Amino acid sequence: MPNLIIEMTQAELFALDLIAVNKQDWADNVLTNRARVAKEELKQTSEWAQAIAELAKAGGDVADDWAVLLKGKELSLFKTAAEKQAEAEISQATGIQPPSEVACQLSMCSNMPWR
């Protein structure tokens, strides 16, 4: 399992001591809960439905949300925050809006700068 390293000042660490008995547990809970919220947000998208369909074809457990998420990752169905930010920066710099995902699926954007 990957580890995340967080750097904090002494003052920030002391402030965290004021609210958390175990700072590691507190940080773990915050991050895993935010990941769960991100997953719940994705479940409202058409890409999620596509990931479910693909996982079902592969014989996977479609009731396992994390398996669905990983299938979507494998198929590049979901854009990361970094990918979304890069698209926004390109759009701002060029004045060109990224095409819809439907257009991309129809191969209408293979030569665009964000692909």
Closest C-alpha to 79, from 106, 114, 28:
114
Question: Would you say residue 14 has pLDDT above 70?
Answer: yes
Quick one: pLDDT at residue 108?
A: 47
Question: Would you say residue 102 has pLDDT above 50?
Answer: no
In DSSP notation, 46-104 reads: HHHHHHHHHHHHTT--TT-HHHHHHHHHHTT-S--HHHHHHHHHHHHHH-PPPPPHHHH
Quick one: pLDDT at residue 74?
A: 96
Model confidence, pTM: 0.72
Rounded Cα gap, residues 58 and 100, in angstroms? 27
DSSP secondary-structure letter at 109? -
| Burial (CB count <10 Å: 0-12, 13-18, 19+), residue 69 | buried
Question: Would you say residue 114 has pLDDT above 60?
Answer: no
Q: Give me the amino acid identity at 52.
A: I
Question: Would you say residue 113 has pLDDT above 60?
Answer: no
* pLDDT tens digits for range 27-68: 999 999 999 999 999 999 999 999 999 999 999 999 999 999
Is the separation of the CB atoms in 98 and 112 below 8 Å?
A: yes
Share of the chain above pLDDT 70, in %: 84
Side-chain half-sphere CA neighbours of 70 within 13 A: 9
| 15-19, 87-91, 110-114 — most confident range | 15-19
Name the average pLDDT for the chain.
87
